[in-house]
């Protein structure tokens, strides 16, 4: 275990050296630049004139409910989906014309694992490197390094189907790093993983970020976005609803604290009228009422003063989930 | 240091080809697909692989030597008459080549496309759709070739190939397998369900039985002859029979042309379809 950690650090050190190296002879100002990026499928507009820039080394998040256009945007960036309109440049290159070149710069972790189930763990990494045209000699060393990084060294000869969900994800991430990409694209990287597996994955992604790899990720987990993203856009129905750092978004679109109270499903609407004026804003959800306030405790006191007795109450800090609710009028995971 | 050189290469390899014609669909790495298939070979179902090969051998044994005793000698057109086994051997060799090519390019491709999602992963790299199409087709054709060689190893020692020139049936089998693999993958790329895949079997069996495999084509009315002559297996059988019975003439070139067109159109359709499915 100790030797594993040691060699990981060593490998990462070498990787770091490499990253700073490549930065020197690359004068491109931003890794990704989208202007009025649009994708239409017939009458349906999946992505509707969105614009954003991602500088080198940033962890950039795309948030939104299912069907918001996150994956479509990801695929356009990954040069595997032609855009309908607008401008898009990845490392200054044009994806419609320079697809293979752009893809050589990228590591892609798709929403659904598409590991090669006919091949063993190490063979999956080998053949993926070969797809990029890399030599077997180089790949042998690289595979060792990546198996350490993904903590899969003792699974190298296993079949893919014998791996757990978390291990498969880690292998998919290792696979995406085989060409030493400058941009790593992750589409809902931790969906379906248990909490422990998620934390291991976050730790690995943190390390990559520290090494200067630009991360682009979609998620509908708020905690994930707050943990990993330097900056994010909130998408809904193909549009950008808001853009900023997690902290700024919370400051701008929500209060400092939130009081959650439950009065029972039938009474929520009725009670809602009686608590008007408490806090900055009130949201009535089917199962609970959210009171946005500078002080949650203060709001709760005011509530009791008005003679209202909630079944349960909870005071918490505002999160991105609240921002999302405010912006789209619905919760993220529907 | 090694690492730095390699970073250059993933991107450098792609940019070296960037300005070539067709660089968006072809990276010149179709053989990597063959590499993948070789790696995956050990997990394949050897019984299924073997069964595709023995089928024509069984036909040769039962029809050629069993039924052949009752039939006696056969002659087609103005050619010299030969034993029944000698007459059907070229047809079964052509069928071997077809079987091998079709099996990999239809069912295996269908699985990789819809269940394994293998092509999704591959096309996220700097590989192009034509690399995938060509690589998979070449692999399928190798299987067809292996079946054909295996079949030749049985019929040649049995004296069913009158002239040594008949060994040219092997390169012809490459052409046949290439044609069927290319066409098979093109069709498969348009298939959406197992039911549709069953049509492949539904078409293969009658084509095998009626393409002049077991008797000369002149037993049919002329309109039906025309229909059958348009079928790829008839073209394959007719070409192999001419080669193995030593009837070299200009009509061979038409068969070759038929397969060249089949290969090219299969490649074009497969590449277009893969691009549409995974890149658009």
- Per CB-CB distance under 8 Å, the chain A contacts of B108 are none
> What was the pLDDT predicted at B17?
82
For position A261, which CATH number holds?
Answer: 3.30.70
Percent of chain B with pLDDT over 90: 64
- Per CB-CB distance under 8 Å, the chain A contacts of B124 are 78, 80, 103, 106, 108, 110
All residues at 6 or more sequence positions from B141 whose CB lies less than 8 Å from its CB, including other chains: B101, B174, B177, B178, B181
| Domain closes at, from A219, A249, A279 | A249
Are B88 and B63 spatial neighbours (Cβ–Cβ below 8 Å)? yes
Q: What share of chain B is helix, strand, coil (3-state, %, to 5)?
A: 75, 0, 20
For residues B76 and B218, give the distance between their C-alpha atoms in angstroms, rounded to a whole number: 8
> What was the pLDDT predicted at B183?
95
Is A220 inside any structural domain? yes
Extents of the domains making up chain B: 30-278
How many CB atoms neighbour CB B261 within 10 A?
11
Chain B residue nearest residue A180, CA to CA: B7
Q: How confident is the model at residue A5 (pLDDT cuts 50, 70, 90)?
A: very low
Look at residue A22 and tell me whether its pLDDT is greater than 90: no
Binary contact (A138, B2; C-beta < 8 A) = yes
Are B155 and B60 spatial neighbours (Cβ–Cβ below 8 Å)? yes
> What was the pLDDT predicted at B77?
65
| Domain closes at, from A249, A266, A299 | A249
Look at residue B50 and tell me whether its pLDDT is greater than 70: yes
> What was the pLDDT predicted at B9?
67
Q: How far is CA A272 from the centre of its chain?
A: 35
> What was the pLDDT predicted at A282?
87
Q: How confident is the model at residue A7 (pLDDT cuts 50, 70, 90)?
A: very low
Q: How confident is the model at residue A331 (pLDDT cuts 50, 70, 90)?
A: low
DSSP codes of every residue in B144-163 = HHHHHHHHHHHHTTTT---S
The better pLDDT of the pair A220, B69 is held by B69
Q: How far is A235 from chain B (nearest CA, A)?
A: 22
The CA–CA distances, whole Å, from B125 to A108, A141, A260 equal 8, 20, 47
> What was the pLDDT predicted at B80?
73
A39 in B contact zone (CB under 8 Å): no
Q: How far is A105 from chain B (nearest CA, A)?
A: 6
| pLDDT tens-digit series, residues A145-162 | 999 999 999 999 999 999
- Per CB-CB distance under 8 Å, the chain A contacts of B4 are 17-18, 21-22
Whether residue A215 is found in the same domain as residue A266:
no
Residue with tokens 């795309």: A62
Look at residue A90 and tell me whether its pLDDT is greater than 90: yes
Whether residue A240 is found in the same domain as residue A269:
no
Mean pLDDT score, A217-242:
90
Is A326 inside any structural domain? no
A95 in B contact zone (CB under 8 Å): no
Binary contact (B39, A15; C-beta < 8 A) = no
Give the highest mean pLDDT range of A92-101, A125-134, A259-268.
A125-134
> What was the pLDDT predicted at A18?
44
A162 in B contact zone (CB under 8 Å): no
HEC-encoded secondary structure of chain A? CHHHHHHHHHHHHHHHHHHHHHHHCCCCCEEEEEEEEEEEECCEEEEEEEEEEEECCCEEEEECCCCCCHHHHHHHHCCCCCCCEEEEEECCECCCCCHHHHHHHEEEECCCCCCCCCCEHHHHHHHHHHHCCCCHHHHHHHHHHHHHHCCCHHHCCCEHHHCCHHHHHHHHHHHHCCCCCCEEEEECCCCCCCHHHHHHHHHHHHHHHHCCCEEEEEECCHHHHHHHCCEEEEEECCEEEEEECHHHHHHHHCCCEEEEEECCCCCHHHHHHHCCCCCCEEEECCCCEEEEECCHHHHHHHHHHCCCCCCEEEEEECCHHHHHHHHHCCCCCC
Q: How confident is the model at residue A178 (pLDDT cuts 50, 70, 90)?
A: very high
DSSP β-bridge partners for residue A313? A261
Binary contact (B13, A104; C-beta < 8 A) = yes
Chain A residue nearest residue B276, CA to CA: A81
| pLDDT tens-digit series, residues A42-68 | 999 999 999 999 999 999 999 988 889
Look at residue A37 and tell me whether its pLDDT is greater than 50: yes
Give the highest mean pLDDT range of A70-74, A95-99, A278-282.
A70-74
> What was the pLDDT predicted at A221?
82
Whether residue A120 is found in the same domain as residue A242:
yes
Binary contact (A118, B116; C-beta < 8 A) = yes
Look at residue A17 and tell me whether its pLDDT is greater than 60: no
Whether residue A158 is found in the same domain as residue A28:
yes
Is A54 inside any structural domain? yes
For residues A152 and A111, give the distance between their C-alpha atoms in angstroms, rounded to a whole number: 21
Q: How many CB pairs under 8 A join A and B?
A: 130
The better pLDDT of the pair A30, B125 is held by B125
Binary contact (A127, B18; C-beta < 8 A) = no
Q: How confident is the model at residue A254 (pLDDT cuts 50, 70, 90)?
A: confident
Are A15 and A178 spatial neighbours (Cβ–Cβ below 8 Å)? no
Average model confidence (pLDDT) for chain A? 86
Binary contact (A81, B279; C-beta < 8 A) = yes
Mean pLDDT score, A241-247:
92
Give the highest mean pLDDT range of A202-206, A225-229, A258-262, B259-263.
B259-263
> Two tokens at A277?
């004026």
Is A73 inside any structural domain? yes
Whether residue A30 is found in the same domain as residue A142:
yes
Percent of chain A with pLDDT over 90: 59
Chain A residue nearest residue B128, CA to CA: A100
For residues B211 and B132, give the distance between their C-alpha atoms in angstroms, rounded to a whole number: 32
DSSP codes of every residue in B235-272 = HHHHHHHHHHTT--STHHHHHHHHHHHHHHHHHHHHHH
Are A229 and A61 spatial neighbours (Cβ–Cβ below 8 Å)? yes
Are A233 and A217 spatial neighbours (Cβ–Cβ below 8 Å)? no
DSSP β-bridge partners for residue A93? A90
Whether residue A242 is found in the same domain as residue A184:
yes
Look at chain A and count its residues: 334
Whether residue A132 is found in the same domain as residue A237:
yes
A323-334 exposure pattern, b = at least 16 Cβ within 10 A, e = fewer: bbbbbbeeebee
Is A223 inside any structural domain? yes
Q: How far is A172 from chain B (nearest CA, A)?
A: 10
Are A112 and A188 spatial neighbours (Cβ–Cβ below 8 Å)? no
Whether residue A130 is found in the same domain as residue A273:
no
> How many domains is chain A built from?
2
Binary contact (A133, B126; C-beta < 8 A) = yes
Mean pLDDT score, B184-189:
94
Percent of chain B with pLDDT over 70: 95
User: Which residue segment(s) compose the domain that A267 sits in?
Assistant: 255-317
For residues B243 and B166, give the distance between their C-alpha atoms in angstroms, rounded to a whole number: 5
> Two tokens at A9?
């650090």
| Domain closes at, from A249, A276, A309 | A249
Q: How far is CA A168 from the centre of its chain?
A: 18
> What was the pLDDT predicted at B8?
53
Whether residue A245 is found in the same domain as residue A306:
no
Is A333 inside any structural domain? no
| pLDDT tens-digit series, residues B204-248 | 999 999 999 999 998 999 999 999 999 999 999 999 999 999 989
How many CB atoms neighbour CB A28 within 10 A?
15
For residues A69 and A110, give the distance between their C-alpha atoms in angstroms, rounded to a whole number: 15
Whether residue A189 is found in the same domain as residue A262:
no
CA-closest candidate to residue B131, choices B278, B280, B232, B257 = B278
For position A40, which CATH number holds?
Answer: 3.40.50.300
Whether residue A244 is found in the same domain as residue A259:
no
CA-closest candidate to residue B132, choices B185, B54, B206 = B185
CA-closest candidate to residue A235, choices A98, A36, A71 = A71
Whether residue A176 is found in the same domain as residue A304:
no
Binary contact (A17, B125; C-beta < 8 A) = no
Cα dihedral sign, A148-A153-A159-A163: negative
For residues A308 and A271, give the distance between their C-alpha atoms in angstroms, rounded to a whole number: 8
Task: Please tell me which of the candidates A14, A17, A100 has its beta carbon nearest to residue B126.
Answer: A100
A245 in B contact zone (CB under 8 Å): no
> What was the pLDDT predicted at A330?
63
């Amino acid at each position: 275990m100790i030797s594993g950690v040691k060699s990981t650090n060593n490998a990462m050190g070498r990787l770091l050296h490499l990253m700073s190296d490549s930065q020197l002879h690359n004068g491109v100002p931003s890794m990704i630049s989208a202007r009025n990026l649009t994708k239409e499928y017939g009458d349906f507009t999946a992505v509707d004139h969105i614009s954003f820039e991602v500088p080198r080394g940033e962890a950039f998040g795309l948030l939104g409910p299912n069907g918001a256009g996150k994956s479509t945007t990801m695929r356009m960036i990954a040069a595997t989906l032609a855009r309908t309109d607008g401008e898009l440049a990845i490392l200054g290159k044009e994806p419609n014309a320079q697809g293979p070149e752009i893809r050589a710069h990228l590591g892609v972790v798709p929403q659904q694992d598409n590991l090669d189930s006919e091949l063993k763990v190490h063979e999956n990494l080998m053949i993926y490197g070969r797809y990029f045209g890399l030599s077997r000699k180089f790949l042998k060393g690289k595979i060792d390094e990546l198996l350490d990084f993904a903590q899969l060294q003792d699974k190298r000869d296993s079949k893919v189907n014998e791996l757990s969900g978390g291990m498969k994800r880690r292998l998919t991430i290792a696979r995406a790093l085989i060409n030493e990409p400058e941009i790593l694209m992750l589409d809902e990287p931790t969906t379906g993983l248990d909490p422990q597996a998620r934390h291991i994955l976050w730790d690995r992604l943190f390390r990559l970020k520290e090494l200067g790899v630009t991360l682009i990720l979609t998620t509908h987990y708020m905690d994930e976005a707050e943990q990993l993203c330097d900056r994010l856009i909130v998408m809904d129905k193909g549009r950008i609803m808001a853009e900023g750092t997690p902290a700024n978004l919370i400051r701008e679109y929500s209060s400092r604290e939130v009081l959650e109270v439950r009065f029972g499903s039938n009474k929520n609407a009725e009670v809602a009228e009686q608590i008007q004026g408490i806090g900055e804003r009130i949201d009535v959800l089917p199962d609970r009422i959210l009171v946005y306030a500078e002080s949650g405790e203060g709001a709760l006191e005011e509530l009791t003063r008005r003679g209202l007795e909630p079944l349960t109450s909870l005071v918490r800090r505002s999160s991105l989930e609240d921002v999302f609710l405010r912006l789209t009028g619905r919760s993220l995971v529907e | 240091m090694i690492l730095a050189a390699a970073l250059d290469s993933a991107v450098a390899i792609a940019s070296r080809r960037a300005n070539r014609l067709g660089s968006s669909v072809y990276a010149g790495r179709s053989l990597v697909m063959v590499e993948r298939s070789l790696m995956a070979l050990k997990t394949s179902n050897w019984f299924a692989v073997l069964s595709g090969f023995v089928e024509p051998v069984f036909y040769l044994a039962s029809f050629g030597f069993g039924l052949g005793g009752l039939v006696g000698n056969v002659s087609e057109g103005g050619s010299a008459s030969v034993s029944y086994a000698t007459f059907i051997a070229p047809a079964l060799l052509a069928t071997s080549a077809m079987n091998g090519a079709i099996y990999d390019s239809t069912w295996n491709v269908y699985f990789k496309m819809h269940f394994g999602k293998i092509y999704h992963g591959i096309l996220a790299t700097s590989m192009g759709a034509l690399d995938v199409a060509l690589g998979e087709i070449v692999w399928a054709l190798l299987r067809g070739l292996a079946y054909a060689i295996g079949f030749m190893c049985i019929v040649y020692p049995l004296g069913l190939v009158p002239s040594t020139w008949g060994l040219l049936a092997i390169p012809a089998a490459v052409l046949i397998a290439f044609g069927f693999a290319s066409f098979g993958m093109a069709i498969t790329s348009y298939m959406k369900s197992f039911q549709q895949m069953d049509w492949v079997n539904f078409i293969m069996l009658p084509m095998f039985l009626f393409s002049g495999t077991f008797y000369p084509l002149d037993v049919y009315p002329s309109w039906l002859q025309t229909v059958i002559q348009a079928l790829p297996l008839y073209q394959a059988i007719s070409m192999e029979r001419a080669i193995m019975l030593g009837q070299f003439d200009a009509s061979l070139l038409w068969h070759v042309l038929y397969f060249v067109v089949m290969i090219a159109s299969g490649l074009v359709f497969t590449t277009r379809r893969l691009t549409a499915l995974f890149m658009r």
